[in-house]
Amino acid sequence: MRTFIPLLSILLLSFFSAQAYSSVRDELLTELQIREAPKTLEQSLSKTLPTLPNFTSAAEFSRFADDHRLSKAELKRDIQLFTRLKMELYNKDKDRYAIAKRLTEQLELLSNSTFDSSYVLMLKGRFAGRSQQDYTTAISLYQQAVALMEHSTDETSLVLRYTLQEHLGVMHMILREESTALLHLKELSRLSKQLENNYLIAHAESVLGKYFYKQNQLGKSLAHYTEATKYSQDGNNSSQNAHIELQLARIYRDLESWDEALSAANNAAEAFSLLGNENYVSSSMTVIAMIYANQGQWYQAIDYHLNAQHIESKLGNYIGLGLNLHNLGEAYYKIGDTRTSLENLKRANEIFTSKKSNHYLVYNDLLISEVAANDANWKMSLDYASKAIAIAESKQLNTELKEALSRQTDALEALGLYEEAFNSVRKLNTLNELTQPQPSGFDEQKSIIAAQKLELSLSQAQNQLLAKTEQLNNTRLVTILCVFVLCLTLLILLKLWRLKNKLSCETKTLQQTQLLEPFTRLHGYLAFKRDYINSNSHPIKTMALISLSDQLDADLSQGYECNAKMNKRQVLAIKNSLNCHTYVIRPGVFLLCFNESIEPNHLLSLLRDIISNHDGQTSLHMGILQLPLLADPAIKLTAAQHFGSLQMMLHAARTLGSDKDYFATMKMLNFASAGIFNDPLYLNIEKSIVRGIIKVDTNGNKEDIIWPRWKNHQNIDINEDKLAI
């Protein structure tokens, strides 16, 4: 029963992603799919939105919704989700941010509720953070979105508030604003419990675990990851479990549990690789590199850093690339290759500077200063130490400021600037007096961390045991069902086999029969459609639809059997004489297809000679087309479009009279489009003739042609679009 509920949830999730939404969207399932299977959700949305909207007013949006037969609420929600997915990490389309910005501007026109306005603010903030790394602007927009939604308690609003709090917490963590980040993450945890969804609770615990890891509070971090593991015990959330494994690898690395760290990191890399999430494959490679680096195995670390760098370069993830260059710079410095180290660090510096990522730049400047000092390049060391001081002071990073002042002092002293070095030392001493060293508490936490590790291991073992027990129970149930089904199957297999053979023979007969015209038993219209599809190797060059006009009612005047024999003789005579494919459309109307181009007058003359020798006391009318109709060979028209055009040409020829044999044909101008042959076909063709896009040719007087009209066509003025020539 425990496995039935998660399986049912997955089936429901797949159902919602595969269907055009006919009911209210389940926001929780949608949020889970954004996090676990964003590509699947995007493909589902692409079916609803095969073309992206581009409207400038609410009225245009309404027309777009009506054209696509979608409700306005569903369409707006789909556009909101599509815009958000465009800015997710998995999406690497080159124009993703341009599309997201355009869609956000359109959504702003439709904001008629606090939810819509809040969502637009979130998208704007996401755009600023993702495309420009402008986290200050992003946070401001997110805070406005939170203020709009703070009193909304329905499920949809709670899910949005959950997302807003998570993103705010992460951005404040990036900017090293720890206390503010913790407030948002605690609110995230509270909202997850209010939603009563295990996945979101586990995710909130995981983010809190990451926060405390950043604070070097490994015991608290492990405690939160233990909770996250409990709530993700069903094992169906591959992405979430991979993220937990990746973060556990970092914690084990810092605890110097090297085997456990490598095992967790490799598990994460494998899981992310199966999910196709290369961003986090790179992160896993970086963690593995740092595990080796912390053990002093710098060459192995460089190998993994280079693997991560290759992935980040391919993805165009500049911040990730900058971090890998920083790590490579440190690794090359440790093996004594200061020239390569500085090359990598300066490239990282360019990326962090261009992206205004001062929270990363300060560490890169400090490392460059250290490497330059080791190389006795005191001028460079002083320059980068001074840059690090400016950033550390602006962000109030005391630990980094102390290191930067120390680097500055060494460089000034080495350059003989003793007075400035003295001032720097005084500033450093003042800073040391103002800030009391914060004990890491590592020794005191050892027992707590050990207990947390044991609790985590126990939780994982219990989850594995539970999964194995469920698997065993399911196996027993499946075995019983299989035996029952096998017995039942054996009893009916023989009957099914006999029935299959019988139906197979009947199906083949029916397939052949449906291709035949019912009276003559010769190939009919369906046979033509089949042959047209299979004519790629020998394309049709000429198509003609002929009418033995005086014999169209002969099936009544002489009986269908007699008339069928006469039509059969006529068709076979045409086929044998002209070496073409022939099809009987109805009594007295035949379709001819040639693999070569034939001039209409010549073909009409040949047909007259053949018909005259085979009960040919009739006037002859012909609609004829030379293929291809359009100048662009890449545009393919269907058999039905060709046949409909032929029917119209035949009708035109018949309106010229019966005093002699007539034909009618048409030819497109080079710029004619395939839209001419869309429904309503006759109306579109006639309009194109009036506009001069289609030229009609006949052996009669074109002015005498009466084009066909049907009921819905009666009141349309064709000549209103006529071009003035």
Residues above pLDDT 70, as percent of the chain: 89
Q: What local confidence, expressed as pLDDT, does residue 45 receive? A: 86
State both tokens at 408. 């500055």
C-alpha count within 13 angstroms, C-beta hemisphere, residue 332: 20
Query: For the chain, what is the largest distance between any 2 Cα atoms, rounded to a whole number of angstroms?
Result: 124
- State how far the Cα of 250 lies from the Cα of 210, in Å rounded to an integer: 10
Q: What local confidence, expressed as pLDDT, does residue 3 receive? A: 40
Q: What local confidence, expressed as pLDDT, does residue 5 receive? A: 45
Q: Do 363 and 389 meet the contact criterion of CB atoms below 8 Å apart?
A: no
- State how far the Cα of 724 lies from the Cα of 559, in Å rounded to an integer: 52
Q: Do 642 and 532 meet the contact criterion of CB atoms below 8 Å apart?
A: yes
Per-residue model confidence as pLDDT tens digits over 405-457: 888 888 888 888 888 888 888 888 887 776 655 444 444 455 555 555 555 56
- State how far the Cα of 355 lies from the Cα of 347, in Å rounded to an integer: 13
- Backbone torsions φ then ψ of 696, nearest 5 degrees: -100, 140
Q: Do 541 and 627 meet the contact criterion of CB atoms below 8 Å apart?
A: yes
Q: What local confidence, expressed as pLDDT, does residue 717 receive? A: 57
Per-residue model confidence as pLDDT tens digits over 30-44: 988 888 888 888 888
The beta strand positions in 514-658, using DSSP E, are 542-548, 581-586, 589-594, 620-626
- Backbone torsions φ then ψ of 550, nearest 5 degrees: -80, -10
The three-state DSSP-derived secondary structure of 78-145 is HHHHHHHHHCCCCCCCCCHHHHHHHHHHHHHHCCCCHHHHHHHHHHHHHHHHHHHCCHHHHHHHHHHH
The beta strand positions in 519-570, using DSSP E, are 542-548
- State how far the Cα of 243 lies from the Cα of 209, in Å rounded to an integer: 11
Q: What local confidence, expressed as pLDDT, does residue 208 receive? A: 92
Q: Do 654 and 646 meet the contact criterion of CB atoms below 8 Å apart?
A: no
3-class SS of residue 517: coil
Return the domain boundaries, the chain: 525-721
Q: What local confidence, expressed as pLDDT, does residue 7 receive? A: 40
Nearest to 231 by CA among 275, 274, 196, 261: 196
CA 468 to chain centroid: 35
**639-654 and 525-533 helices cross at what angle (nearest 10)?**
130
User: Cα dist. 295→92, 214, 257, 302, 309 in Å?
Assistant: 35, 21, 11, 13, 21
**238-254 and 218-231 helices cross at what angle (nearest 10)?**
160
Q: How many C-beta atoms lie closer than 10 Å to residue 113's C-beta?
A: 12
Nearest to 46 by CA among 6, 99, 4, 97: 99
- State how far the Cα of 205 lies from the Cα of 225, in Å rounded to an integer: 6
DSSP 596: S
The contacts of residue 164 (CB under 8 Å, 6+ apart) are 118, 122, 142, 145, 146, 149
Q: Do 155 and 28 meet the contact criterion of CB atoms below 8 Å apart?
A: yes
β-strands 581-586, 542-548 pairing: unpaired
**Which H or E run contains 454?**
helix 442-513
- State how far the Cα of 475 lies from the Cα of 480, in Å rounded to an integer: 9
- Backbone torsions φ then ψ of 451, nearest 5 degrees: -65, -40
Nearest to 327 by CA among 282, 281, 364: 364
Q: What local confidence, expressed as pLDDT, does residue 234 receive? A: 63
β-strands 694-698, 542-548 pairing: unpaired
- State how far the Cα of 503 lies from the Cα of 261, in Å rounded to an integer: 62
- Backbone torsions φ then ψ of 232, nearest 5 degrees: -110, 30
β-strands 662-668, 620-626 pairing: parallel
State both tokens at 457. 């291991």
Please, where are the H alpha helices in 153-197? 155-174, 178-195
- State how far the Cα of 622 lies from the Cα of 544, in Å rounded to an integer: 7
Q: What local confidence, expressed as pLDDT, does residue 443 receive? A: 46
DSSP 523: B
State both tokens at 476. 């027993």
- State how far the Cα of 263 lies from the Cα of 285, in Å rounded to an integer: 12
Residues of the chain under the 50 pLDDT cut: 1-8, 10-24, 438-444, 723-725
The C-alpha R_g of the chain, in whole angstroms, comes to 38
CATH number of this structure's domain 525-721: 3.30.70.270
Exposure of 89 by Cβ count < 10 A (0-12 exposed, 13-18 middle, 19+ buried)?
Answer: middle
Q: Do 246 and 283 meet the contact criterion of CB atoms below 8 Å apart?
A: yes
State both tokens at 174. 């990036």
Exposure of 101 by Cβ count < 10 A (0-12 exposed, 13-18 middle, 19+ buried)?
Answer: middle
Q: Do 661 and 619 meet the contact criterion of CB atoms below 8 Å apart?
A: yes
Q: Do 373 and 411 meet the contact criterion of CB atoms below 8 Å apart?
A: yes
